[in-house]
Amino acid sequence: MTTPRELDLTTISPTRLWVPKHVMITRAAADLPHTAEIIRRCERAGVDDIRVLSGNALTSLRGATERETYASAKNTLAVVVAPPSALKPQPIPPSADWRIDLARGCPAHCQYCYLAGSLQGPPVTRVYANIDDVLDGIRTSAGRGSVTRGTLERGDEGTTFELSCYTDPLGIESVTGSLAAAITRVGAGDFGSDVQLRFTTKFDDVGELVGLDHSGRTRIRFSVNAAEVADRFEGGTARMPARLAALRAVATAGYRVGLTIAPVMPVPGWREQYGALLDDVAAAVAGIEDLDLTAEIITHRFTPASKEVLLGWYPRTKLEMDEDLRSQKRSKFGGVKYVYPKQTMKEMREWFTEELDRRLPAARLLYWT
Ligand code: SF4
């Protein structure tokens, strides 16, 4: 079991900060107030190449090879205006009532990335400059929803808004400030008192967030995994002890917190590895007053489209994506995803349910999938 010795709380300096090499600002985004904040943050981070484009199309995203295109895209932040189609909150069970997007794309390099297959083209991170329009979705959807709002199990969360469906918002926060803006406005009650933001992250840059007036209306979840999975497959993210130190820091600052244990994989010795992870989390949250800790557990899955994209990005990956070892699951729209076979799922589910209860009784399991 890890002791808090590894959780250095004397400093909450991030161990992993993304600084883009290139920042492209579209014409339509150029004069918006949030763009000025993004430019200020990028300049502070030392970005030299900040360009305002003459139009609204992102140009020169492709390199000579797929490798170059990937590398250049992952080093680029595009500041764009979210189109009206991206502004309408969408239901997002089982996580939250609604999804709203502060950005699309992520600079990290997880070999199983959830975004593969759902975002088109080179993996540039696009941050939305019209943040007021994005946040207006909270106003129009507050009081509606069926995942948390009005339910017996999660009704206390109010109407919930998930911010991390298409990005890791903390991973880009130091150069965008979008999270701080959202947390502050929701904390100030701009959208009423019965709404809650939530996001999940693999980063640890929480120094700014701990000082915000959040009013307990944001739940920060850390994506955590067994050491073998995280060390092998989660490139460009904060290491696990750093994420747990950040978890402790934000929980101590009064945020509601959570674990996204994902993607769970039955790697050799998975019981011991995930057991050690749960023990590390227990050590990280020990002694925090009024701790509000949830857990969401998501097993690894892939689709034909995500597999193709991931093998293009990470051709030498050791990630198991073998259809013959998996069960097929059909979505209501007819799409196929590959999940672990029934017996493996049953064993893992039983183990996690029991061990979460035993090792981390403070955590409330929201769902397993
Ligand atoms: S942190 Fe999340 S969004 Fe970013 S690369 Fe990893 S899995 Fe993808």
Q: Are 175 and 37 in contact (CB under 8 A)?
A: no
How many CA atoms does the CB half-sphere of 298 hold within 13 Å?
Answer: 16
**Alpha-carbon span 197 to 183, nearest angstrom:** 7
What per-residue confidence (pLDDT) applies to 61?
85
Q: What is each CA distance from 259 to 28, 225, 251, 265, in whole angstroms?
A: 37, 10, 12, 16
Instruction: Write out the two tokens for 28.
Output: 């339509």
Sequential DSSP letters for 215-241: TT-EEEEEEE--HHHHHHHEETS--HH
Taking CA atoms only, the protein residue closest to ligand 1 atom 7 is: 113
3-state secondary structure of 330: strand
Of 188, 301, 285, nearest in space to 246 by CA: 285
The CATH-assigned architecture of domain 1-11+203-300+340-369 is Alpha-Beta Horseshoe (3.80)
Taking CA atoms only, the protein residue closest to ligand 1 atom 6 is: 110
**Alpha-carbon span 74 to 79, nearest angstrom:** 14
Question: Which ligand 1 atom is at minimum distance from the Cα of 237?
Answer: 1
Q: How far is the CA of 40 from the centre of ligand 1 (A)?
A: 25
Q: What is each CA distance from 62 to 26, 72, 77, 152, 353, in whole angstroms?
A: 17, 8, 14, 50, 46
Which one-letter amino acid corresponds to residue 98?
A: W
3-state secondary structure of 300: coil
What per-residue confidence (pLDDT) applies to 2?
39
- φ, ψ for residue 257, nearest 5 deg: -130, 170
What per-residue confidence (pLDDT) applies to 60?
79
User: pTM, whole model, 2 decimals?
Assistant: 0.94
Q: How far is the CA of 111 from the centre of ligand 1 (A)?
A: 8
> Splitting the chain (369 residues) into consecutive groups of 10 residues, what average pLDDT does each group show?
42 84 98 98 97 93 90 97 94 96 97 90 96 97 95 95 97 98 98 97 97 97 97 96 97 97 97 98 96 98 95 95 96 89 98 98 97
E runs forming strands in 27-68 = 49-52
**Alpha-carbon span 362 to 360, nearest angstrom:** 5
**Alpha-carbon span 313 to 316, nearest angstrom:** 9
Residues with CB under 6 A from ligand 1: 106, 108, 110, 113-115, 168, 202, 237
What per-residue confidence (pLDDT) applies to 283?
97
